[in-house]
A = this chain, B = another copy of it.
């Protein structure tokens, strides 16, 4: 049994705010500033360079990788932290293409996050060997896996719509076609149960600053299936992925296992914040989290549909196809979101017309959902968004 009232008490949640944007940036764990401060003073400050060994900094990417591994169903020692999600996507793709040298296609879908597609595009252009990035509609992905495909690159939960792919089925199809499956878990890790080992992902990548609450710019993670980890040859062959970084060998020899996916010096301040965030996750049962998440998204959908007929639901009603966010469509979506934010309901807007609300049981409860519905109803009923101040164009994150 997970006590979500207890986890909620572990976050700093500003008064007067209902925060439904934890799928973009998780809130501050109360323990994080002291943890980072202690790391800075007692480790960086007092131990100086010796902290790389004495304070365990060098092993942090692997140690915290294992703690994330538990949340995504990974084998111990198969997950490592570092870099950004885009870099990790590149590493997985480059490895997969090399493992399937006779196959020209990276298959993805138009619901994928653009940066995944950009990284694939950049890799293909660099390689200059006539690879193709084939992007199909999300619903066509399952039937598009054929024997020209080297790698399937799929983000489980669509960042705009909240639609969830069936990764077990897609991965089985991918393997039957002789291809490799790369999962992007940006909107999955910490959002719902994931089973990378059981369902056979070849590679998985994700970020830590959304549902995992590591703070702005927290490092990404990468999973490499143990059956591949000693064979893949990293394209981004940095010194910390070397078998013996401090031998300063002139030739690159990859480290055993997933650690070869490390590149450069890990970001120790960000890792300290992540560590504080992961302490909150230690007691959480992922099935209980999923049940709570579905109850929250069901409640929000029912409330908004009853109170705001002008908003069109985008997220699937079918639980199996839903992540942990709810999106509605409205032509004035941008201005509506500004009006909501001005009233303390923080969600976000995704072009061209999507209002997106993330539900994170660790710190969002039924009372928050009801208050959010009430604010949304007020804004819609009174057309509060229809003011110049909310219609002004500005960059939205």
Q: Taking beta carbons and an 8 Å cutoff, which residues of A are in contact with B? A: 12, 14, 17, 19, 21, 24-25, 27-28, 32-33, 36-37, 40-41, 44-46, 48-53, 57-58, 83-87, 90, 94, 98, 110, 113-115, 117-119, 121-123, 125-129, 135, 160, 207, 209, 215-220, 233-239, 242, 246-252, 263-271, 273, 341, 346, 348, 350-351, 394-397
Contacts and interface: CB of A to CB of B under 8 A. Distances in A.
Given A24-B49, A33-B37, 16 more contacts: A12-B45, A14-B46, A14-B48, A19-B48, A27-B44, A36-B36, A83-B84, A90-B236, A121-B237, A122-B236, A215-B268, A215-B269, A217-B268, A217-B269, A246-B396, A267-B269
A221 to B, nearest CB: 13
Contacts of A36: 36-37, 40, 269
Given A52-B397, A58-B397, A235-B126, A250 B27 contact: no
A273 B263 contact: no
Contact of A250 (B25, B87, B110, B233): B110
Nearest to A247: B351
Contact of A252 (B118, B128, B268): B118
A264 to B, nearest CB: 3
Contacts of A14: 45-46, 48
11 contacts: A25-B52, A27-B45, A28-B45, A50-B341, A83-B87, A85-B265, A114-B252, A121-B252, A126-B127, A216-B268, A217-B268
A181 to B, nearest CB: 21
Top 5 A-B residue pairs of the complex, sorted by shortest distance between their CB atoms: A84-B264, A122-B237, A115-B239, A86-B238, A217-B267
A215 B251 CA distance: 28
A235 B90 CA distance: 10
Copies in the complex: 2
Nearest to A238: B86
Nearest to A46: B14
B33 A237 contact: no
Q: Which of A220, A236, A250 has the most CB of B within 10 A?
A: A236
Nearest to A30: B45
Contacts of A40: 28, 32-33, 36, 215, 273
Contacts of A53: 394-397
Nearest to A24: B49
A268 B125 CA distance: 31
Contacts of A218: 267
Nearest to A209: B265
